[in-house]
Amino acid sequence: MNPDEIQFEADLAADRATSEPALVVDVEGFEGPLDLLLALARQQKVDLAKISILALADQYLAFIEEARKLRLELAADYLVMAAWLAYLKSRLLLPETNAPEGQSAEDMAVALALRLKRLEAIRDVAERLFGRAQLDRDVFRRGQPEPIAHIKHPQYSATLYDLLSAYAQQRQKSALAHVRLVKRTVWSLAEAREALERLIGRSPDWARLDEFLISYVVEPSLAPTVFASSFASTLEMVREGVMEVHQQGAFAPLYVRKRQPAENRVADPGGVAAPPADGKE
Amino acid sequence: MPKLKVVMPDDEPDNAGEPRAEELRLLEAMLFASAEPLDEASLAERLPQGVDVHAALLRLQEEYATRGVHLVRIGGKWTFRTASDLSWLLSKETVETRKLSRAAIETLAIIAYHQPVTRAEIEEIRGVTTSKGSVDVLLETGWIRPRGRRKSPGRPVTYGTSEAFLSHFGLDAVGDLPGLEELKGSGLLDGRLPPGFSVPMPSDDPALHDDEDPLEPGDLDLGLAPPPERTGEE
Amino acid sequence: MPKLKVVMPDDEPDNAGEPRAEELRLLEAMLFASAEPLDEASLAERLPQGVDVHAALLRLQEEYATRGVHLVRIGGKWTFRTASDLSWLLSKETVETRKLSRAAIETLAIIAYHQPVTRAEIEEIRGVTTSKGSVDVLLETGWIRPRGRRKSPGRPVTYGTSEAFLSHFGLDAVGDLPGLEELKGSGLLDGRLPPGFSVPMPSDDPALHDDEDPLEPGDLDLGLAPPPERTGEE
């Protein structure tokens, strides 16, 4: 390889400065042995079909030799190609006696030329492709697209059965819920007893049950339940021996008081110590 | 392409004479590609010196006046817009079938049987707070309509069913909705009902009841797309 | 004004007699509004029945041929694009697009002209190991896509170009690639090269070739550079 050629390579290398990161087999800017071969072939300035593969092989081998002298680390690809070219060269120089197996040296040379041609062709069309007007660089699309609005019209579906069963269930559920609500208006026995305890605790004298009730009952409609609960509680408390109850006669008012010690059982409102009354309000 | 000018019938027979000015091409390319409306100053910057940008824009506007795309001025800036009579082209309408929620179906059923009925009354029957959404969805279906306002504190809106309701459910009249005995007979209601339980005889007679006032003019709009204040009103 | 047209055609001072058809307005409105190319079928959907969409589009294309905006067909779909001779006018605004490396440019060209093609086949043509980076960069541009897997040992992924590729380079179809005819004529496309290089013409037909298998679900994600976490997740 003469000095001119090395100069040429250096120029080319500068051309090849690309942003391709790692992994590219890069000998002075060449992308692999085929690329190098193509560059060398271009120096012959002839149609690739008419190229002298022999001369090309020589140039390649010389280049590799030079690179090795410079102790450039060559990727295996280059060395494999060098070995193959050396082999091809020897075959081309030797008279073709009997082809060992398969391809003749001529065929191999043609195949190599074709590969170079193919690479050159694809580079050419790549250049032409990128020479086209490109979108967002040379031509532009609509800057303010008016997108197609998607209007959804909901259509609801429900069957008469859905409607009726929903209604029936709903009504039934709330009807039962109402019954529970009514129960709430009842004065519980516990409530009645608590009220009675407070009442008899306050005075040792006889007190009229209905008078006492009146002060408790705000809502007239509650009177029956208050009366009933109180009466039931009274009986219970008498049975427990904490209270006495007295009634003059059937349908007469009921009197209650705290249970007195046995000795001073005096009838206050003019009665006798009353046995548990069975009168009703 | 000489027949570009469909615009001014007699005003300007300019096809024959002067060729279409280059600045019109430049303007239309810039206006087409720009992501925003452009003002005349920035357009002028890119045009050859001495071009009357304003006049050129007016001419371009005229050229496009009969087209599917118009050149319009918005806030003093120029841009192309689809002709407003063609806006329908830019929307796609699809029908989407949706199932009514359980709450909405219950609400609808109560409105059907108990109409005219207010939202508070629906809630009382359902025993649950009826979300505003249910009523809105039902209004959207077109199956219910606001009828009037109840003559009671707060004057709540009363709802009833519409003709669309009858037609969707294949009813001749709301009176055809099954009554208590029929509901029991079909097993939809069971026997464990408290005494006095009744199912009303529904009627969608549009005539207002004695306890209803007519809706005010604004009510219908409100009913169909009610602003949030309305909730408070009821 | 349309009423008169029917009765007395010559009454109209509309240029050459024939009024500008309404479908041209409709077409230009739709095409103008959209940033993406639209196919004839979707355009036809919105036009009155019986309109010859193709003929109308050709007419519209002609009308716009001298304008600053052209109607072009890209990948079989129609779109308006600024006239390419006006790129100087608009390029000021554009951000410099990332320059592709020489290796990526060559790789793209090989994929475009030889598709469907595997990485090994690309390497065969380039005579060098193609870094994964080139393919990744191209996948990122959206111009290439993994198509399937070649039915050969190792089942390598085959690559082809996408619609975005056509759109970017303003091609109606891969058959319009520059220099394709010459390449074909010189026999450089049909390689007597390794088996698998048997496709005489590039084709981006999404239908898989006989020697292609479909991609598996995971392939696409991997090919399109998913966030690393996702890969782990699956």
Nearest C-alpha in B relative to C16: B3
Q: In tens digits, what is the pLDDT along chain A, a chain of 281 residues?
A: 444 444 444 444 444 444 333 333 345 677 888 888 888 888 776 677 677 888 889 888 988 888 777 767 777 888 888 999 999 888 888 876 665 566 788 888 888 888 898 999 999 999 999 999 888 888 888 988 888 777 777 788 888 888 888 888 888 877 766 554 445 567 778 878 887 777 777 667 777 777 766 666 666 677 777 778 888 888 888 888 888 888 888 888 888 888 776 655 554 444 444 444 444 43
What is the SS3 assignment for C131-148? Answer: CHHHHHHHHHHCCEEEEE
* pLDDT, position C170: 93
Instruction: Collect contacts of B131-140 with beta carbons under 8 A, ≥24 apart.
Output: B131/B103, B132/B226, B132/B231, B133/B104, B134/B101, B134/B103, B134/B104, B134/B107, B135/B107, B135/B159, B136/B226, B137/A156, B137/B100, B137/B101, B137/B104, B138/B104, B138/B107, B138/B108, B138/B111, B139/B223, B139/B224, B140/A154, B140/A156
Q: Which structure tokens are listed for C214?
A: 């479909």
Residue C93 with chain B: CB contacts under 8 Å: 34
Q: Which structure tokens are listed for B122?
A: 């629906």
Instruction: Closest CB to B126: pick one of A143, A174, A178.
Output: A174
Q: Say whether B93 sits in a helix, a strand or coil.
A: strand
**All CATH 1.10.10.10 domain ranges in chain C, comma separated:** 21-84, 102-227
Tell me: pLDDT of C79 over 80: yes
Q: Which of residues 63-92 of A touch C (CB under 8 A)?
A: 77
Instruction: Closest CB to A139: pick one of C32, C87, C104.
Output: C87
Pairing of β B91-99 and β A149-157: parallel
In this complex, which chains have at least 3 CB pairs below 8 Å with chain C? Answer: A, B
Contact at CB, A170 and B96, closer than 8 angstroms:
no
Whose CA is closest to C93, among B34, A177, B165? B34
d(CA B6, CA C25): 12
* pLDDT, position C148: 92
Q: Alpha helices, DSSP H only, in A184-222? A: 189-202, 209-216
Tell me: pLDDT of C74 over 60: yes
> Which residues contact residue B64 at a Cβ distance below 8 angstroms, ignoring those fewer than 6 apart?
B70, B71, B80
**Which value does ipTM take for this structure?**
0.65
d(CA A170, CA A180): 16
Query: How confident is the model over A25-38, as pLDDT tens digits?
Result: 345 677 888 888 88
Q: Which structure tokens are listed for C134?
A: 């080139």
Residue C138 with chain A: CB contacts under 8 Å: none
Tell me the CATH architecture of domain B21-84: Orthogonal Bundle (1.10)
d(CA A140, CA A146): 16
Kindly tell me the number of DSSP H helices and DSSP E strands found in chain A: 9, 6
d(CA C109, CA A12): 22
Angle, helices B102-114/B132-141, rounded to nearest 10 degrees = 70
Contact at CB, A125 and C180, closer than 8 angstroms:
yes
First to last CA, chain C: 65
Share of chain A above pLDDT 70, in %: 70
Q: What angle do CA C197, C200, C206 make, to 5 degrees?
A: 85
Query: How confident is the model over B150-190, as pLDDT tens digits?
Result: 988 888 899 999 988 988 888 888 888 888 888 888 888 87
Nearest C-alpha in B relative to A152: B94
> Which residues contact residue A187 at a Cβ distance below 8 angstroms, ignoring those fewer than 6 apart?
A222, A225, A226, A229, A230
Tell me the CATH architecture of domain C102-227: Orthogonal Bundle (1.10)
pLDDT band at B220 (very low <50, low <70, confident <90, very high): low
Contact at CB, B29 and C89, closer than 8 angstroms:
yes
pTM beyond 0.80: the answer is no
Residue A121 with chain C: CB contacts under 8 Å: 179, 183, 186, 188
- Rounded to the nearest angstrom, the minimum Cα separation between A69 and chain B is 58
